[in-house]
Amino acid sequence: MGLQITGEVTNVLEEETGTGRNGTWRKRAFILKTPGEYAREVCIIQWGDAIDKFAVQTGETITAHIDIQSREYNGRWYTDVKAWKIERQEGGGGRPPAPDEPPLPEDPGDLDGEDDEMPF
C-alpha cells in the first residue's frame, strides 16, 4: 500500500532520543499542512537516519511517503504517521544540496560516464 501526502512544512519539532530494547533511537516530528479549501495539519514522524537524509525544513513543499501504524498500550490506542521517503516539490523551497554531495548523473545507469555495455 503506497500512501503519500503533499503539503507545506509549517513546523519542525525538536528531535527526541532515547534507549529501548533495540538500543538507542532518534525521532523528529514535523507538521505538514495540506493544500485546499479544507486544509489539514498532519504530524509526521521521521526515525533514525531519515532525519538527516531528508532534512525537512519549515516552509518547503514536500510529498511524504508514509506508513500508518497503530499500537495498543494500557487499553488505549496510539497512531503514528511515519515518513520513510521525502520528495521535494519544484519551487517549494527546500535545502540546496550539501557542498560535499556530488550532483547525481542524468542517467543513473551511466554512473562512471563510460558505455561498456555491461549488464551490471
> Residue 39 belongs to what domain range?
3-88
Q: Is 13 part of a structural domain of the chain?
A: yes
Angle value at C-alpha 10, between 5 and 14, nearest 5 degrees: 100
Residue 31 lies in a domain: yes
In a domain, 97, yes or no: no
Give the span between the Cα atoms of 16 and 75, in whole angstroms.
25
Claim: this prediction has a pTM higher than 0.75: no
pLDDT tens figures, 52-88: 999 999 999 999 999 999 999 999 999 999 999 999 9
| In a domain? residue 96 | no
Residue 30 included in any domain = yes
Distance from chain centroid for Cα 96: 16
The CATH number of the domain where 10 resides is what? 2.40.50.140
Mean predicted lDDT score pLDDT of the chain: 82
Asked whether residue 42 is domain-assigned, the answer is yes
DSSP line for 74-90: TTEEEEEEEEEEEEEPT
Torsion angle defined by CA atoms of residues 20, 51, 63 and 57, in that order, rounded to the nearest 10 degrees: 130
Q: Is 18 among the domain residues?
A: yes
Helices (H), 1-120: 50-54
Count of structural domains within the chain: 1
